[in-house]
Amino acid sequence: MGTLTEEIFSRRLGRRVRAGDTVVAPVDYVMGHDVTTPLAIEAFREMDMPLWDPERVILVFDHILPANTVVAAGMHKQIREFAQEFGITHVFQEGICHLLVVEKGFARPGGLLVGADSHSTTYGALGCFSAGMGSTDVGVIFATGKTWFKIPQTIRIELLGQLRPGVYAKDLALRIIKQLGAEGANYLAVEWGGEAVRRMTMDQRLTLTNLTVDFGGKAGLIEPDVVTRDYLGETDVADLHPHNPDYLQRIELDVEQVEPQIACPPAIDNVKDLSAVEGLELDEVFIGSCANGRLEDLAIVAGYLKGRQVHPRTRTMVVPGSRAIYLEALKAGYIESFMEAGAIVMNAGCGPCLGRQHGVLAPGERALSTSNRNYPGRMGSAEAEIYLASPAVAAASALAGAIADPRRFG
């Protein structure tokens, strides 16, 4: 009985769990990356206990890959030594943690995962409950395999109708963020459903659950269906549905009315119709991230860039989200199209999203990114401007050297 969240926790704990309850639950997997894991290791060592299970800890090098400073290299070394000391096998340096957790099959319907990264909400597109936490929570899970949860109430978002050409999951997520505000789902779970979601590929669904944390959501969930089963390549996927759910709030959005959206500085919820800012010149375009660095995103971008040239004033960076995606994009000719168009293609990872390594912005510069964060200083100088939009908008804007509507490029 209940919401997807209540169903998942009730099955896991073998008793009826309701929103508002505080529970301690065992997780399937716990994930840390190169920036958050060193502090998690500190907390784990303070626990002074053996590692819970070396096959259920996932460690990913993605935020600073490869290391760009001696300090970063030292942190990487510390994580590698930790992995070796405890025999941790799931250690990856081949892409963004959130894409790898899904790609490698760790996220499954009915599962429970915790990641030391806010965008760990992403995995909920597979029908699991996954939340981002801090390093201390994750370090304690390293030791005990468990953590505590306050079972959240749920906002149900129904996306009705069919998307218009040039409009994608990213636009819908931004439109919802505009409506609910940056803390609209703080402490709450979000269920995404409705005809438009059922029609979406897994790549698009992952964009919805990824951006759920950007309006405060503790978890974003999508009911498993035939798309989920096909994606996992399995038929015996857990049958999981909301049963007589008591939602805190239910929101319906007619997606046919949604235009391409853009989040303007200085915050994710400063969302406008793209037409409001069309023509603003751009110094940088970044295509990638855990929001939009998947194969389908790269296919959309290649569709625009193939046989064209990016504008000379706009340095354009493409970062495939994982090695597997990079290889697929190579085989499909997308990477060739990007390179011939004059874009810079980088190794799989978080890339310029967090302004730590490359693609850093100077004061007064303006960037358009397909990522999920546009806080001042996120990609470099706090005096730079960051706009967030879909891969289609990013591709059109790279060609125009200014914010542009992809529907004009055909």
Segment interacting with another protein, rule: CB under 8 A, options 274-282, 310-318, 321-329, 350-358: 350-358
Name the minimum Å distance from CB 391 to another protein. 22
Q: Which is nearer to another protein, 348 or 384 (CB)?
A: 384
Name the minimum Å distance from CB 59 to another protein. 16
Helix H or strand E encompassing 324: helix 323-331
**3-state class (DSSP) for residue 136:** helix
Name the minimum Å distance from CB 394 to another protein. 21
Judge if the upstream peptide bond of residue 406 is cis by omega within 30 degrees of 0.
no
Cα–Cα distance, 125 to 142 (Å, whole number):
25
Q: Which of residues 305-344 bind another protein (CB under 8 A)?
A: none
Q: Which is nearer to another protein, 72 or 173 (CB)?
A: 72
Segment interacting with another protein, rule: CB under 8 A, options 110-118, 154-162, 294-302, 394-402: 110-118
Name the minimum Å distance from CB 24 to another protein. 5
**Does 146 contact another protein by CB under 8 A?**
yes
Segment interacting with another protein, rule: CB under 8 A, options 194-202, 204-212, 313-321, 353-361: 353-361
Q: Which of residues 119-138 bind another protein (CB under 8 A)?
A: 120, 132-137
**Does 54 contact another protein by CB under 8 A?**
no
Cα–Cα distance, 388 to 368 (Å, whole number):
6
Label the pairing between strands 189-193 and 219-221. parallel
Evaluate the CA torsion angle 63, 97, 217, 112 in order and state its sign: negative
Among 117, 171, 296, 365, binds another protein (CB under 8 A): 117
Q: Which is nearer to another protein, 132 or 321 (CB)?
A: 132
Nearest C-alpha neighbor of 242 from the set 160, 180, 155: 155
* Nearest-10 crossing angle of helices 323-331, 295-305: 40
| Contact track, another protein, 363-382, x by CB under 8 A | ----------x-xxxx-x-x
**Does 72 contact another protein by CB under 8 A?**
yes
Name the minimum Å distance from CB 312 to another protein. 28
Among 251, 324, 332, 354, binds another protein (CB under 8 A): 354
Name the minimum Å distance from CB 183 to another protein. 4
**Does 182 contact another protein by CB under 8 A?**
yes
Residue identified by tokens 């994580």 is 79
Q: Are 191 and 223 spatial neighbours (Cβ–Cβ below 8 Å)? A: yes
Nearest C-alpha neighbor of 197 from the set 125, 128, 301, 294: 125
Cα–Cα distance, 111 to 26 (Å, whole number):
10
Segment interacting with another protein, rule: CB under 8 A, options 180-188, 233-241, 310-318, 324-332: 180-188
**Does 291 contact another protein by CB under 8 A?**
no
Name the minimum Å distance from CB 28 to another protein. 17
Cα–Cα distance, 393 to 51 (Å, whole number):
45
Per residue in 258-283, is it b (16+ CB within 10 Å) or e — as a string? bbbbbbbbebbbbbebbeeebebebb
| Contact track, another protein, 255-274, x by CB under 8 A | ------------x-------
**Does 216 contact another protein by CB under 8 A?**
yes
| Contact track, another protein, 8-37, x by CB under 8 A | ----------x-xxxxx----------xx-
Question: Residues near 400 by Cβ (< 8 Å), separated by ≥ 6?
Answer: 311
Q: Torsion-angle region of residue 233: left (phi > 0), alpha (psi -120 to 50) or beta?
A: left
Segment interacting with another protein, rule: CB under 8 A, options 50-58, 113-121, 167-175, 227-235: 113-121
Q: Which is nearer to another protein, 136 or 179 (CB)?
A: 136
How long a stretch of residues is the chain? 410
Measure CA 376 to chain center: 20
Question: Residues near 367 by Cβ (< 8 Å), separated by ≥ 6?
Answer: 282, 283, 284, 285, 286, 361, 379, 384, 385, 386, 387
Angle at 322 (CA atoms; ends 316, 323), nearest 5 degrees: 105
Residues that bind another protein (CB under 8 A): 18, 20-24, 35-36, 38-39, 42-43, 46-49, 64, 69, 71-72, 75, 116-118, 120, 132-137, 139-140, 143-144, 146, 148, 150, 152, 182-183, 186-187, 216, 218, 267, 354-356, 373, 375-378, 380, 382
